Each structure stands twice: as C-alpha cells, then as structure tokens.
Amino acid sequence: MGAGNWDSYDGYEDMQSYEVMWLYTPSSYQYFLLVSSSAEVWDHSSSEYYGTVRCIEGEAVLPSSSSSSSSSSSSSSSSSSSRPKLTNAEPLLEAGTQFNPSIEYGTLTDTRDGKTYKTVEVEGATWMAENLNYAGNEIGESFCFNDEDRFCDVYGRLYSRDAAMNDGGCNKTSCDLGDAPIQGICPDGWHIPSKAEIDDLVNSVSKNGLTLMSAEGWDVSMPAGTNTLGLSLVGSGDYDSSKHFEHLGVDAFLWLYSEGSQTYVVVRGEDSNIFVNTYTSSQLYNSVRCVMD
C-alpha cells in the first residue's frame, strides 16, 4: 500500500510511494522494496532503518532465550522513546578537504564577521567555492544542520528564503525585488545568484552535477564528484519546516533569486543531476552561494 519508512538520516518519508518490507538473511541487512512497479531486494547499512513486516504461515525456528530476551528489551526501549526530530547527521568531513587541489582559488573575506572563503571563476563569473556561514542575519532564520555548530564549518548555514534575500516580503510565495542583482545575505560586492546565472552554470556542465560536486562531503553511497570546475559543492542537505533536517551527504540545495515561489537549484547526489526546482508547501532552509557583482 506504500506504507513508507523511517531512517535516521531522513526521518519519516515515502508514504504512498514506497513499500519497504523486512526479509530475513543471517548476515546482512536486507529488505524487499516495491517502488514505481519495480520489485527489488536492497541492502541497507548506512543508518538505523524501520520498515514493515508481513508474516508467512508455517513452521519456524523460535529464537533462543538469550536473543528473545535481548529482542524484548530492545523493543521495550524503542517503544518508550519518541522518534528523534533531528536526523543522524553524518557524514562530516574535515574543513578544507572538499576543494580541488589542482585549481588555483581566490579568497573573499567577509568584513562583517572576518570569515574567509575560497572563490573560483566559472564561465566568466566569480563564485564562492564554499557555502556562506554568516550568522548575523536580522531577517528570517538561519542555523547549522541539526542545530550543531560543527556542521557549519564545512556545510555552511541553512537560510530561510527571507533571510537569504534579506527581505521580509520574500516568504514562500512572493519575492519581487526588481531586476538588479540582489545582494541579500551576501557580503558587499556579492549577490544571490539569479535564475539566468544558474541556467548558465547548469548548461555549461550539461546538467552533469559531478563536475560541480566535491569528492568529499557526500555519503559513501553517492557517486564521487570530479569537482572539475572547483565549485566544491558538498551534500549540505536542507531543513523543511514541516519535517526535519534531512539529505545531509545526499543532496545540495542552493537559493537563487526569482520572483514568485521559493526557487532553488538542486544537485542530487544519487544520479548527479542538477536542476532548478520550485516548492510552496512549507518554508525551506537552504544553503547560499554568492556571486561577485
């Protein structure tokens, strides 16, 4: 029926989309997956996982007293505690390891807080090669993944749309700031990428996200990025105000400026696809990369 699942990375998800059912194998962590009319057996070992159970009638081996006791204790402990709001926040890489060593980077110092960022030239535009980590926004909200400061050093902060645009009128559905480059939360002399600048970037790599993705900062199950252009995108994840922190090491989401609804660029680690998306169901919190004026 599409009962969905729960895991310690993404929390509750996939209701009416996936059916995930446990099967028994003695030495591995496998389940039966039904999705989009495709039925497969998958391995899963990267996080704690919860799926459904269907039973088959017939003779079966009863658990030993020791395993039965352990199982009972575990079940009691699990049922007495609520599911965590925040997901298991890994992987975390060492700051600085996400860059391409064969590329000569520039530097940007944000005079507001003294933080220094690497920069890189791509298709005639100068981009920040790291996600913004400025915490002094006076409009909207921003925070580190999982509300843990340690993640900001590598993945930067996650900003609400009004915080990113530095305008209280930029809620989920409207954001009319004119046609000029929008500085937003960026340092002086820099601006939020426009839709046209994002389109130029996406087209320059033929929608191949691997050329933008760092080889570090992604889950080990994701394809390794080549980081050819030096943008060094990491799987910074996001926060959806109706859900929880999610997608760390799996996807990158960057704000761009566009009138109307919340619009942002997605780099999807699973298939290395890069595209522009729009979302209106709830307030999103995404990363910010700034472009030099």
Residue 121 sits in the same domain as residue 259: yes
> Measured between alpha carbons, how far is 93 from 65 in angstroms, rounded to an integer?
42
Residue 30 sits in the same domain as residue 144: no
Buried b (16+ CB within 10 A) or exposed e, 63-97: eeeeeeeeeeeeeeeeeeeeeeeebbbebbbeeee
pLDDT at 166: 96
Residue 74 sits in the same domain as residue 128: no
What is the per-residue pLDDT across 230-243, written as a single tens digit (0 to 9) for each?
Answer: 999 999 999 988 77
Q: Are 157 and 139 in contact (CB under 8 A)?
A: no
pTM of the model: 0.71
What is the per-residue pLDDT across 38-59, written as a single tens digit (0 to 9) for each?
Answer: 787 877 665 677 889 999 998 8
Residue 71 sits in the same domain as residue 130: no
The three-class DSSP label of residue 211 is helix
Residue 245 sits in the same domain as residue 173: yes
> Measured between alpha carbons, how far is 165 from 255 in angstroms, rounded to an integer?
9
Residue 75 sits in the same domain as residue 115: no
pLDDT at residue 68 greater than cutoff 60? no
pLDDT at 88: 52
76 band by pLDDT with thresholds 50, 70 and 90 = very low
Residue 73 sits in the same domain as residue 116: no
What is the per-residue pLDDT across 81-124, written as a single tens digit (0 to 9) for each?
Answer: 333 344 555 677 888 999 999 999 999 999 999 999 999 999 89
Residue 76, Ramachandran bin (φ over 0: left; ψ between -120 and 50: alpha; else beta): alpha
pLDDT at residue 27 greater than cutoff 60? yes
Q: What are phi and psi of 239, to 5 degrees?
A: -135, 130
* Domain count within the chain: 2
What is the per-residue pLDDT across 124-159, written as a single tens digit (0 to 9) for each?
Answer: 999 999 999 999 999 999 999 999 999 999 999 999
Residue 54 sits in the same domain as residue 127: no
> Measured between alpha carbons, how far is 166 from 170 in angstroms, rounded to an integer?
8
Structural domain of 45: 5-80
Residue 224 sits in the same domain as residue 272: yes
Residue 112 sits in the same domain as residue 71: no
Among positive and negative, which fits the CA dihedral 241, 243, 248, 253?
Answer: negative
Residue 74 sits in the same domain as residue 115: no
Please report, for residues 9, 64, 97, 140, the alpha-carbon distance to residue 28 in angstroms, rounded to integers and kept in the order given: 20, 20, 32, 45
**Tokens of residue 171, six digits:** 């809620």
Kindly state the percentage of the chain with pLDDT values over 90: 54
**Over residues 67-75, mean pLDDT:** 39
Residue 110 sits in the same domain as residue 12: no
Residue 68 lies in a domain: yes
Q: Are 127 and 120 in contact (CB under 8 A)?
A: yes
Residue 13 lies in a domain: yes
Displacement of CA 27 from its chain's centroid (Å): 31
Residue 112 lies in a domain: yes
